[in-house]
Amino acid sequence: MLLAGRHVYASRPAPVYAPWDGRLLHEVSEASVDEMDAAAAAAAASVADTRALAPWRRAEILRRIATSLRAETEVIAGLIRDEAGKPITLARAEVSRAAETLELCAEEARRANGEMVPVDAVASGAGRIAFTRRVGRGPVLAITPFNFPLNLVCHKLGPALAAGCPIVVKPAEQTPAAALRLGELVLEAGWPERALSVLPVPRRAAPQLVADRRFKVVSFTGSDRVGWAIRAAAPHAQVVLELGGNAAVILEPDANLDMAVPRIIAGAYAYAGQVCISVQHVLVASSRAEELRERLSVAAAKVPTGDPAREDVLCGPMIDKANVERLRSWIAEARAGGASMLVENEGSETVVGATLLAGVPADARVRTEEVFGPVAHIDSYDDLDTTFHQLNRGRFGLQVGMYTRDVRSLLRAQERLEVGAIIHDDVPTFRADPMPYGGVKDSGFGREGPRYAVEEMTEPRLLVLRND
């Protein structure tokens, strides 16, 4: 582990296994109660150190980290491939995105912040001027998931460095290596040692970190159940939650299917659908339903599946066998309720093949819950507003994709759909890292993206000056 900038080798080794073939990859040191306490204490003690770093210096550190990441693309992509089971082409893309994320954070570090406050707009403020500056809130606790073990760490670590906040990172148990290597690069770039810890912590022990009042920001990406428990357990902190989804793509009668079909296939099945904005629900206007169903079935049947080390593979293994079993039971439940199987690709002990369903019952879990696997289902509709209403009845609200040439339909979607974003002529899986990313309802609270995450990690401090 990295504890306050130092390598610490604990007596509690935690093994990390490859999802593809189950082989032991390596062991990491599991943080104890005392080591978690030491990390929080070091973060709290280093607030003055990080705030003292001038904005240009923070930006320089972030740019150095980004450069180092790019130089180690193949090594770090290999770690992601092995630990997360992510196909190697997608793992390389994640490293590139992570470097871009840090470069965007470097821009935010240099950006002027705060605003003038017109206190003399009222009589009591006459003879005074006022302005705010944004100041880092203090130590940040970042809890990250397995599916983007580098870029989602960067979406928390980068804004913390830009804001001048110490940070403790708890990576997912299945995928700690990329975060640990990133931590080493952060220190090599010049970040104060005691202002950074990367702690492999078992899930059962994480509540101790969350409840520690020395953390002023808790940023979590993961399941909705865990996320809301974290918010309840940390009333002392600014809590940002990026949680689950049940993402839909809507295709209107004028949708360009040549554009839509390959994007739906990638959005539903890339990385075995283990993305919170993976395409789960395809809604198509009745006049185009038969054509789309046929084209998606042909394309889904050809999805390259298997070893994530192969350059052509799109759909690799699930993160563990428990999730393979979960997903297969959900598919069986839907079929028992009357769903038809349009496509069922061959799988294995660790792989669920690309699956396409139709006629899924209203109460089946592949419809109501977050699938987080390579399963999509298709429905047709006659009335767009009714479709909006049906989507809003679900408990998630992250992103929706919409294929149409009618701007009026898009404006209605923005007004009526209870989601964080509507993506035009693309699938909900689209994310550009500068976006304000996040959802509503059980999909989360707050927004990520460098600019927006920096706002979450800072607070306005007002100065009122006499001017008479």
- Which member of 154, 165, 276, 315 is catalytic? 276
- Does residue 459 have an active-site annotation? no
- Which member of 242, 252, 455, 456 is catalytic? 242
Tokens 């003055």 map to which residue?
A: 48
What distance in Å separates the CA atoms of residue 433 and residue 277, rounded to the nearest whole number? 14
Q: Are 272 and 19 in contact (CB under 8 A)?
A: no
What distance in Å separates the CA atoms of residue 180 and residue 101, rounded to the nearest whole number? 18
Structure tokens belonging to residue 196: 């950074």
Q: Pairing between strand 399-403 and 421-424?
A: parallel
| Residue burial 311-345, b: 16+ Cβ < 10 Å; e: rest | eebbbbbbbbeebbebbbebbebbbeeebeebbbb
- Does residue 115 have an active-site annotation? no
Residue of 254, 223, 257 whose CA lies nearest to 241: 223
Dihedral angle over CA of 242, 16, 78, 169, nearest 10: 40
Structure tokens belonging to residue 28: 């990491």
The beta strand positions in 322-468, using DSSP E, are 340-344, 355-358, 375-381, 396-397, 399-403, 421-424, 440-441, 444-445, 458-466
Distances (CA, A) of 414 to 222, 253, 299: 25, 19, 30
Structure tokens belonging to residue 447: 């927004």
User: Which residues are within 8 A (CB) of 51 and not within 5 positions of it... i.e. 6 or more apart?
Assistant: 135, 136, 164
Q: Are 140 and 164 in contact (CB under 8 A)?
A: no
Which residues carry out catalysis? 242, 276
